Amino acid sequence: MTSPTDKPNDGGVPVPVTPVGASSTAPAEYPPASPAGRGMFGNQGTGDVSGYGGLVRQRQPIEEASRPYGGYFDEVRDALEEAYPAFGDAVEKVVVDRGELTLHIRPERIAEVCQVMRDDLALRFELCSSVSGVDYLGADERRLHVVYLLTSMTYRRRVRLEAAVSVEAPHLPSVTAIYPTADWQEREAYDMFGIVFDGHPNLTRILMPDDWEGHPQRKDYPLGGVPVEYKGAEIQPPNERRSYQ
């Protein structure tokens, strides 16, 4: 049985088929006005070998959400606004994306907001389960972001706080005195991204050697590397195995 899409062949030899909208010789096109993710470390190639035109992933702009947010998100915002008089100055924007509420906080206010989020009876976010760094190279002058995942055990709610700093002034207050779980996680963000948490009791490297230069998870960090030998076979360092800029 054949279908209208079947192509003739020469005795059972498969015929290569180029997917609709894709080119086997040219990279996928995308609107110049829409920045696209093309891999880490400034790599211009997509790394895609599937033949589907490069699979260029478009970056979606993160826009402020409008009320009502839905679910308990409005209640959390209202409670924080009532409990924290500096709410209007501290909160840069509110984002609801993929079922998560994210409050973007001015870096100098992050410890104050965490204190209110933990102690206010209408909020009670007792647990900070994660503090992590993110580098949005090329997206903004304040490219280094710190993301805090807060959980309310009392009300069974989750909220993300996010603060952004620049490479030139990568400082924001430590929240270790409020959430002790942030201790080693702030050290990791310092080690990997060079984000300085003022007031941390022992802000030292936690993964890399003390005399290491640079911060390996920044997007502009050079790959480098040394050859590694396995049972007679030598594997070249990453910057010699692929074409990076």
Mind listing the pLDDT tens digit for each residue in 80-89? Answer: 999 999 999 9
- Name the more confident of 139 and 147: 147
Structure tokens at 84: 């924290």
Query: Residues 23-27: what's their mean pLDDT?
Result: 43
CA 195 to each of CA 89, 134, 148, 177, 218: distance values in angstroms, whole numbers, following the listed order? 23, 10, 14, 18, 11
The angle formed by the CA atoms of residues 195, 199 and 205, to the nearest 5 degrees, is: 45
With respect to residue 24, please indicate whether it lies within any of the assigned structural domains: no
CATH of the domain at 236: 3.30.460.80
Question: Positive or negative, the Cα torsion across 196, 197, 198, 202?
Answer: negative
Structural contact between residues 186 and 147, judged by C-beta atoms closer than 8 angstroms: no
Check residue 15 and give its pLDDT: 46
Q: Report whether pLDDT(57) > 80.
A: no
Q: If you ran DSSP here, which 8-state letter would residue 15 be given?
A: P
- Per-residue confidence band for 226, with pLDDT thresholds at 50, 70 and 90: low
With respect to residue 146, please indicate whether it lies within any of the assigned structural domains: yes
On the CB side of 195, CA atoms within 13 Å amount to 29
Q: Residue 79 phi/psi, 5° resolution?
A: -65, -40
With respect to residue 184, please indicate whether it lies within any of the assigned structural domains: yes
- Per-residue confidence band for 29, with pLDDT thresholds at 50, 70 and 90: very low
Long-range contact list for 178-187, CB < 8 A, 24+ apart? Answer: 178/111, 178/114, 178/115, 178/118, 178/128, 179/114, 179/118, 179/127, 179/128, 181/127, 181/128, 181/129, 182/128, 182/131, 182/148, 185/130, 185/131, 185/132, 186/131
With respect to residue 155, please indicate whether it lies within any of the assigned structural domains: yes
The whole domain housing 159 covers 61-245
pLDDT in tens, 168-189: 999 999 999 999 999 999 999 9
Residues across the chain: 245
Number of domains into which the chain is organized: 1
Residue with tokens 């826009």: 63
- Per-residue confidence band for 30, with pLDDT thresholds at 50, 70 and 90: very low
With respect to residue 160, please indicate whether it lies within any of the assigned structural domains: yes
Check residue 46 and give its pLDDT: 52
With respect to residue 93, please indicate whether it lies within any of the assigned structural domains: yes
With respect to residue 182, please indicate whether it lies within any of the assigned structural domains: yes
Q: What is the CA radius of gyration of the chain?
A: 24
Query: Residues 155-159: what's their mean pLDDT?
Result: 98
Check residue 132 and give its pLDDT: 98
- Name the more confident of 26 and 184: 184
Check residue 241 and give its pLDDT: 62
Query: Residue 93: CB partners within 8 Å, gap ≥ 6?
Result: 64, 104
Q: Residue 109 phi/psi, 5° resolution?
A: -105, 0
Check residue 62 and give its pLDDT: 77
With respect to residue 242, please indicate whether it lies within any of the assigned structural domains: yes
Q: Report whether pLDDT(236) > 80.
A: no
